[in-house]
Amino acid sequence: MKTVNITVNKKTLLEVYNQVGLLNSMGFPNFQKGEPINTLMKEIKKDLKQQKKAEKLGWKEVLEFWPLSIVVPSMILLILIGAGTQ
């Protein structure tokens, strides 16, 4: 198994990320580049950015739907107006 999905509170994750950043900047060897905890936090941050980016692309669904929201009501109106004039 290459990936694992977990649920973590955003506040907890943010606190851990900030602590890793602080300890890395202070020069603690366990939290520097290339160490497992640092790599884990980078992977989590990358995954969160990808998920956020995917959520922002939701407007593409509107572009696929808009013709129906315009065409169907206009056709119904045209049918009603056409039937009313005869």
Question: pLDDT of 6-31, one tens digit each?
Answer: 787 888 888 888 888 888 888 888 77
pLDDT given at position 16: 83
HSE at residue 1, side-chain half, CA atoms within 13 A, is 3
Residue 4, domain member (yes or no): no
d(Cα 40, Cα 34) in Å, to the nearest integer?
Answer: 10
* 37 assigned to some structural domain: yes
The reply to whether 59 falls in a domain is yes
**Domain, as residue range, for 21:** 10-85
Residue 50 resides in a domain: yes
Instruction: Report the number of distinct structural domains present in the chain.
Output: 1
Does 47 fall in a domain?
Answer: yes
* pTM, 2 dp: 0.50
In tens, the pLDDT along 35-73 reads: 778 788 888 888 888 877 776 666 666 666 666 677 788
HEC sequence for 1-43: CCCCCCCCCHHHHHHHHHHHHHHHHHCCHHHCCCCHHHHHHHH
- pLDDT tier for residue 2 given thresholds of 50, 70 and 90: confident
